[in-house]
Amino acid sequence: MRAYLALGSNMGDREQYLRDAIRALHPLGIDASSVWETDPVGGPEGQGAFLNMVVALDTDKSPRELLNLAHSLEDAAGRVRTEHWGPRTLDVDVVMVGDLVVDEPDLVVPHPLWRERAFVVEPLREVADLALLPTLPDDLDTSGIRRVRGLWGEWDLSLRPADAVGWMDGWRGPWAVAGGWAIELFVGRPVREHHDMDVAVARADADRLHEQLAGWELYFPSPTAFVRWPGGSPLPDDEHQLWCKRDGVWTHEILFEDIRDGVLHYRRDPSITIPVDEAFLRTGDGIPYIAAHLQLLYKAKARTQRDQIDVAAAAPLMSPTQREFLAAYLRRRDPSHPWLALLD
Q: Could you give the residue numbers annotated as active site?
A: 79, 88, 91, 93
- Among candidate residues 196, 203, 202, the one with its CA nearest the CA of residue 180: 196
Helix axis angle for 305-314 and 179-187, nearest 10°, is 30
Alpha carbon distance 218, 57 (integer Å)? 27
Q: H helices of the chain, where?
A: 14-25, 63-76, 118-127, 161-167, 179-187, 209-212, 276-279, 292-299, 305-314, 320-333, 340-343
236 Cβ neighbours under 8 A, 6+ residues apart: 220
Q: Residue 270, SS3?
A: coil
Alpha carbon distance 343, 308 (integer Å)? 12
Alpha carbon distance 301, 307 (integer Å)? 9
